[in-house]
Each structure stands twice: as C-alpha cells, then as structure tokens.
Amino acid sequence: MSHVQCMIGPSILNSDLSNLHSESQNLLDSGADYLHLDVMDGTFVPNLTFGHPVVKCLRNKIPKAFFETHMMVQNPQQWIEPMADANVDQYTFHVEPVDNVPQVIRQIKEAGMKVGLAIKPKTPVDVIAEYIESADLVLIMTVEPGFGGQKFMQDMMPKVKWLRENYPTLNIEVDGGVGPNTIDECAKAGANWIVSGTAVINCPDRKQAISTLKSSVQKYLS
Ligand SMILES: O=C(CO)[C@@H](O)[C@H](O)COP(=O)(O)O
Ligand SMILES: [Fe+2]
C-alpha cells in the first residue's frame, strides 16, 4: 500500500474558534499536513459552524496550507464557487442529499478544487462506487456528522477495508473519534487521510499527538 501518502488533518471544530488563525497555525506548526474545516449549515446536520467568509479570512492569514472543507450541507452545489473563491484546495461533500453527484463533481473540478466524496455511517459504501474513479478522496464518517468529541464507530472499518482492497491508490479519509486510541484500527483497515479533532486539540502536546497518528499510519503503509 506504499503508493498512497499518509496525511494528518486536524479538525479545528473544537478549538478556540475566537482564535481561529492562531489555532490553525499552531496545528500546522505541530506537524499537520492539512486543515480539515467543518462547514455545517444547521439543516444537513443539527449544528452550525462557519462558511466561506470565515474560510476566506483564514486563507488570507494562511496562504499556503492545504485546506479541505468538509461540507455538511444540504445543498453542496451552492457553495462551490464561494469556496473556490476562498482558495479552498479540496471540497469534500456528502452525497446523501445530492440528486446529481456527477454534476457536482464536475463543477468542483471546473472550479479548480479537488473532490472528496463523504458518506454518513448509515450510508453503504456501494452508493458511491460508481463515482470513485472521478473523485480524489472518499471520506468514511466514523461518527454521525454534526459534533466533535463523539465515540469512534469501529463498525465502519469494513467500509474502509472494502475501499482499500478495491482501490489500492485511493485516498481514504476517516473522520470522527479518531485519536491515538483508535488510529491503529483505521490504519490497519487502509485509511491514509486522518482527521482528528478533540484528540489533538485537547492534547497538551499536539506535536506528539500528530506524530503518534502519523507513525501508526506509516507502519501499515510500509
Ligand atoms: O466532521 C466532523 C463532525 O461532524 C469531525 O471533523 C469532527 O469535528 C472531528 O472531531 P473528533 O470526533 O475527532 O473530536
Ligand atoms: Fe469533519
């Protein structure tokens, strides 16, 4: 599996959002490979976070880092242009509310961003199988989307395994309850993009937390 790269992307959702810039910079300085920005609209999920105006301001302060927006929104099509304008690198959206997935994929690419396809725990992985070849990444949610700090759902690992077996070069991301205690299971199943929120944010040594996640994934990659 050495043809995929290990990437650690902390979620800033549970950080001190009044200090979004310094928190994000601190995570990058602690070894984060990218920033996972959780966008929620209060409709697709029962929570509200921030949108493209905030992401754009953050981008002005942090011009170089890889930004992934995890779009937990009812109408992902609506935010493609504004997020591209905010210089987002990867637009990861949930397929559940979308009628025409290929069209959304095409629009994201035309806007110059990479495409991530996300599924909630109750969505079977075969729902996205026909779109995988045209995506850059698949995100397997390991909690119900909406909140940080929830318990990791181990029973999502068969989805990750299935993807890794069938798509050896695919970037597979896991998100929700992932930290030093659950990373081995994710890595063993074949995940190579790792989102970790509270486990990194609340750790007194964020550098150490990120490096633990990285070594686990690398152990299974080689
Ligand atoms: O998308 C989400 C939640 O919906 C995540 O990105 C979480 O914010 C990750 O936080 P932890 O579960 O790692 O605390
Ligand atoms: Fe997320």
The whole-angstrom distance between residue 195's C-alpha and the CA centroid of its chain comes to 6
Ligand 1: residue of 41, 156, 198, 213 to mutate (most ligand atoms within 8 A of CB) is 198
Beta bridge partners of 72: 40
Q: Does 187 reside within a domain?
A: yes
For residue 160, what are the domain limits?
7-221
For 78, the token pair is 């609506």
Q: Does 1 reside within a domain?
A: no
Ligand 1: residue of 41, 67, 141, 147 to mutate (most ligand atoms within 8 A of CB) is 147
Ligand 1 atom having least distance to the Cα of 201: 14
Tens of pLDDT along 43-100? 999 999 999 999 999 999 999 999 999 999 999 999 999 999 999 999 999 999 999 9
Q: Does 25 reside within a domain?
A: yes
Q: Does 58 reside within a domain?
A: yes
Instruction: Based on the residue annotation, tell me whether 126 is a catalytic residue of this protein.
Output: no
Ligand 1 atom having least distance to the Cα of 40: 4
- Whole-number CA gyration radius for the chain: 16
Tens of pLDDT along 157-185? 999 999 999 999 999 999 999 999 999 99
pLDDT of residue 34: 98
Q: Does 2 reside within a domain?
A: no
User: Of these residues, 41, 89, 136, 175, which one is catalytic?
Assistant: 175
Q: Based on the structure, what is the number of domains in the chain?
A: 1
CATH number of the structural domain spanning residue 80? 3.20.20.70
Helix 206-221 vs helix 20-29: crossing angle, to nearest 10: 50
Instruction: Based on the residue annotation, tell me whether 16 is a catalytic residue of this protein.
Output: no
